[in-house]
Structure 1
Amino acid sequence: MAINHLVLSTLAPENWPFSIESLPQPAYLVGGAVRDAILGRTREYLDLDFVLPANAVSVARQIAKQYKAGFVLLDSERQIARVVFADATADFAQQEGISLETDLHRRDFTINAIAYNPHTQEIIDPLQGCADIEKQLLRMVSAKNLEDDPLRLLRAYRQASQLDFTIEPDTQAAIRGLASHINRVAAERVRVELGYMLANSQGSVWLINAGKDGLLTPFFKNATEENLQKLSAVDTAATQLTHFWPQLGEQLQNPVRDTVKTTWLGIAKLACLVNPNPEIAEIELQELTYSRAETKAITTALKLFPQLQAPLMTLREQYFFFQEAGTVFISTAVLSVVHGQSVKAIAPLVNRYLNPNDLVAHPTPLVSGKDIMLALNIPASPVVGKLLTEIAIAQIEGKIYTAAQAIELAAQLINT
């Protein structure tokens, strides 16, 4: 494959957050940054991986100090460190083996075993990774390399989904043969790989393949073939809902929280893989080190989506439903459609959720608990919360409209 050096302009030192003069010679860029540059893929956030023949940690530490960047020692034994800049991350690793070629032969896939010398602008490609990039093929360097770090088994499916590549047949056969080794991988590392595939429809196809090849059942006992197919059903349901409510489609792509990468679409997919019993699902998710926010979202969706399968709820029932669902409603709606409910049947609830002025889905209290305590001269207690609930329901039912009427209703309820 002929390399157009204009394609590699993203790797040019002038785009780095530090000067090339800070690097010793030789030094090599490797891995995803080189692969993506050859593919013409650009990133807003630079993620650079360097291999140095010696002193990798001390070089990283010196660069971090010089540029007042963050420094993280990732592996003291293998001499790997990270420098974190505002708009880039640079990892520095000591070369494994006696030469760069030896190091590249220890990597996972040929497309990630390409090096670039920024000093000479030379591409080093001993395993014909460039040819595999041209063929859009994910090929292992060796089965032993996959066995050495079994996370690479799952990473094959993640990278295939992100790059829109296919997995070379011998590589897929090797993965199937080594699938039992995935048990050796820490749950949090597995969770990160899954996260990439849960976020979009391209990932669903490869998650299903990973499940069929035995990589998911050690973590999700309910990852049966039937439940794996529900991942595609989630994408279909999301497309149907987005057709009528584009705003809902946008929200499905939002992360659960700013600090949590899992999207609301991913929450719906995870709900298809865990035990349908929310209490058992919670234990499974905790073992996989999912956050409290993610676990709560999934278990809430599992608990609530059956309510959307029933006939239209009363206003009172809808009020309690939305109070419990909150933002999880969007994942719950998707699951409802996956399990056979029609889009038309849940349309009234979707419209309520998307309307910020809807009092059923988004109540605007007429009075506060403090208002009730002062007006009725009662202490703080669970009774106050119950009164606020009854006031909110009377408001959405059109029985009261003002704060004075709310206080009057609270007084009546206290005296009955």
Structure 2
Amino acid sequence: MKPLRSSFHLSPNILPFDLALLPPTAYLVGGMVRDALLNRKRDYLDLDFALPNLVIETAKKIANKYHAGFVVLDDKRNIARVVFKQGTVDFAQQEGDSIEKDLSRRDFTINAIAYNFHKQKLIDPFHGLKDLQIKTMRMISVKNLQDDPLRLLRVYRQAAQLNFTIETQTRQTIVELSSLINQIAAERVQSEFNYLLGNEGGSNWFIQIEQDGLLKPWFSGTNNNNLQLLQGVDHSVKLLQNRLTKEDFNDFFSLRGEDTVYSSSLLQRARLTCLVSNDAKIAKEELINLKYSNQDIKAVLKVLSNLPSLEKDKQNISLREIYFLFLELGNIFPIFALVALGKNINNDLILKLISHYLDPQDKLAHPIPLITGHDLINYLKIKPSPQLGQLLTEVSIAQIEGKIENKAEALEFARDYLVNLNSI
């Protein structure tokens, strides 16, 4: 990265409106300034301005001029948003009687840099430029972290996002304030965790979060085994990258277009499974407390409940057992496979199961029924009942075992099976 200089110039051409509409006292603040200094490009424009006065009026004037969307986000605090096709622009009341005072209330030095387009001038009272240069997250003050405990978690997300480290005193303060994590709304905690679950280096950051005491309040049983499993899942991703073709790898993780493996919800859920308790009841409570969706909870619990079926010392597994495993897991099988590989549970078997799963014509992983329940009802003259489901299951197993190959054979098999069942 090139040396950062206070003479930095940010072109007004990035603005989705004419600079003349922006008051001379307005300052660009927040992530856009930081990212511009780091030469980080954004696909979506997200600008934040701090103004000493005329906040709502300025936003409305710009919105009217360009027929853009306009909404007052906070009437009491004077915050308004203008929505353009290419991004959003937020206007907020400057806190304090100067921009320096406003910046003093922010979280970390790298986020406390402002830029004035009219003067082409950077305001950097807390040496954020230097910390950007040395890739360091440094707090502005203890009080700022106390006032908004979410910042205790946000530091890990931003460090992961930027590939920065956390300054020693800042990290020590986070440890000392870790009990404040209980004051944060669960939805906001989940959001921070989810970012790390989808970040390439996220597992290492969860290890640091646990060491700093911010994980226990949400995942009470987390220990070294959980953290080792997180890293094990990451290793299983690399294993599959080496073992599978690019097409199969993308299919396994349901990747499309510009997706990366770390944006895959399958990998994120596999990592989440590593963090929860092995006790399904406790795991469910942990996920409910963090406001995870029913879909997320069901996926994690299914994986946990099926892992014991492939114990490390289990040498042989029948086609029947594999059939039920695929039937139970369905499209969350990749999550199960990643966690099983991460646990080093019968890796050869897991890799074989993955091969079955990746073949859409595979009768074991993706069986196509030879008959339906209506076929059995009509052929056997029976009524709908739990027994009907049992018959269909046995027919499917006979099919994957190669005992039957067509509808006629399936019906005959069902008839014979029913006769034997009734004779018991």
Q: Is TM (by shorter chain) over 0.5?
A: yes
Amino acid at match of 1:305: L
Structure 1 residues 285 and 102: CA distance shift in structure 2, 3 A: same
**Does residue 90 in structure 1 map to residue 94 in structure 2?**
no
Question: Which residue of 2 is the match for residue 2 of structure 1?
Answer: 5
> Pick from 338, 344, 354: which aligns with 1:340?
344
> Pick from 305, 308, 318: which aligns with 1:306?
308
**Does residue 294 in structure 1 map to residue 293 in structure 2?**
no
Deviation of the 1:140 alpha carbon: 0.7
Question: Which residue of 2 is the match for residue 330 of structure 1?
Answer: 334
Q: Using the alignment, how far apart are the partners of 2:15 and 2:383 within structure 1?
A: 63
Question: Which residue of 2 is the match for residue 406 of structure 1?
Answer: 410
Structure 1 residues 76 and 411: CA distance shift in structure 2, 3 A: farther
Q: Using the alignment, how far apart are the partners of 1:134 and 1:120 within structure 2?
A: 24
Question: Which residue of 1 is the match for residue 397 of structure 2?
Answer: 393
Q: Using the alignment, how far apart are the partners of 2:196 and 2:333 within structure 1?
A: 22
1:305, 1:333 within 8 Å by CA — same for their partners in 2?
Answer: no
Question: Which residue of 2 is the match for residue 363 of structure 1?
Answer: 367
Deviation of the 1:270 alpha carbon: 1.7
> Pick from 261, 264, 276: which aligns with 1:274?
276
Structure 1 residues 249 and 183: CA distance shift in structure 2, 3 A: farther
State the secondary structure of the residue aligned to 2:177.
Answer: helix
Deviations 1:240-269 (A, max 9, x none): 2332125565444859xxxxx772222222
Deviations 1:141-164 (A, max 9, x none): 111101111111111111111111
Deviations 1:272-315 (A, max 9, x none): 22111122211110110111111111111111122232334211
Structure 1 residues 125 and 363: CA distance shift in structure 2, 3 A: same
State the secondary structure of the residue aligned to 1:96.
Answer: coil
Amino acid at match of 2:319: L
Q: Using the alignment, how far apart are the partners of 1:119 and 1:375 within structure 2?
A: 84
State the secondary structure of the residue aligned to 1:49.
Answer: strand
Amino acid at match of 1:344: D
Deviation of the 1:134 alpha carbon: 0.7
Output aligned runs, 1:178-327, within 5 Å. 178-245=177-244, 246=246, 249-250=249-250, 251-252=252-253, 263-309=265-311, 310-327=314-331
Deviation of the 1:342 alpha carbon: 4.5
TM-score by length of 1: 0.88
1:179, 1:213 within 8 Å by CA — same for their partners in 2?
Answer: yes
Task: Point out the more displaced range, 88-97 or 78-87.
Answer: 78-87
1:333, 1:346 within 8 Å by CA — same for their partners in 2?
Answer: yes
Q: Using the alignment, how far apart are the partners of 2:326 and 2:407 within structure 1?
A: 23
State the secondary structure of the residue aligned to 2:89.
Answer: strand
Question: Which residue of 2 is the match for residue 146 of structure 1?
Answer: 145
1:297, 1:328 within 8 Å by CA — same for their partners in 2?
Answer: yes
1:199, 1:253 within 8 Å by CA — same for their partners in 2?
Answer: no
Q: Using the alignment, how far apart are the partners of 1:66 and 1:410 within structure 2?
A: 74
Structure 1 residues 94 and 272: CA distance shift in structure 2, 3 A: same
Q: Using the alignment, how far apart are the partners of 2:38 and 2:94 within structure 1?
A: 25
**Does residue 353 in structure 1 map to residue 357 in structure 2?**
yes
Amino acid at match of 2:138: R
Deviations 1:114-143 (A, max 9, x none): 112234432221211111101111111111
State the secondary structure of the residue aligned to 2:288.
Answer: helix
Deviations 1:373-393 (A, max 9, x none): 445554544444333322222
State the secondary structure of the residue aligned to 1:221.
Answer: coil
State the secondary structure of the residue aligned to 1:196.
Answer: helix
Deviation of the 1:325 alpha carbon: 1.1
Deviation of the 1:412 alpha carbon: 3.8
Deviation of the 1:77 alpha carbon: 2.9
Q: Using the alignment, how far apart are the partners of 1:140 and 1:243 within structure 2?
A: 41
State the secondary structure of the residue aligned to 2:122.
Answer: strand
State the secondary structure of the residue aligned to 1:405.
Answer: helix
Structure 1 residues 386 and 61: CA distance shift in structure 2, 3 A: farther
Task: Point out the more displaced range, 58-67 or 319-328.
Answer: 58-67
Amino acid at match of 2:146: E
Deviation of the 1:80 alpha carbon: 2.8
Deviations 1:198-228 (A, max 9, x none): 1234122121111101111111102224422
Q: CA RMSD in A?
A: 2.7
TM-score by length of 2: 0.87
Q: Using the alignment, how far apart are the partners of 2:390 and 2:89 within structure 1?
A: 55
1:161, 1:203 within 8 Å by CA — same for their partners in 2?
Answer: yes
Deviation of the 1:190 alpha carbon: 0.9
State the secondary structure of the residue aligned to 1:366.
Answer: coil
Structure 1 residues 123 and 336: CA distance shift in structure 2, 3 A: same
1:262, 1:294 within 8 Å by CA — same for their partners in 2?
Answer: no
Deviation of the 1:369 alpha carbon: 3.2
Q: Using the alignment, how far apart are the partners of 1:168 and 1:374 within structure 2?
A: 73
Long gaps (5+) in structure 2:
257-262
Question: Which residue of 2 is the match for residue 258 of structure 1?
Answer: none
Amino acid at match of 2:318: T
Q: Using the alignment, how far apart are the partners of 1:82 and 1:116 within structure 2?
A: 19
State the secondary structure of the residue aligned to 1:92.
Answer: strand
Question: Which residue of 1 is the match for residue 112 of structure 2?
Answer: 113
Structure 1 residues 293 and 71: CA distance shift in structure 2, 3 A: farther
Deviation of the 1:64 alpha carbon: 5.2
Deviation of the 1:232 alpha carbon: 2.0
Output aligned runs, 1:1-150, within 5 Å. 1-2=4-5, 8=10, 12-20=11-19, 22-57=21-56, 59-60=58-59, 63=62, 73-150=72-149
Q: Using the alignment, how far apart are the partners of 1:118 and 1:311 within structure 2?
A: 69
1:201, 1:232 within 8 Å by CA — same for their partners in 2?
Answer: no
Equivalent pairs, count: 407
1:113, 1:125 within 8 Å by CA — same for their partners in 2?
Answer: yes
Deviation of the 1:36 alpha carbon: 1.0
Q: Using the alignment, how far apart are the partners of 1:303 and 1:163 within structure 2?
A: 37
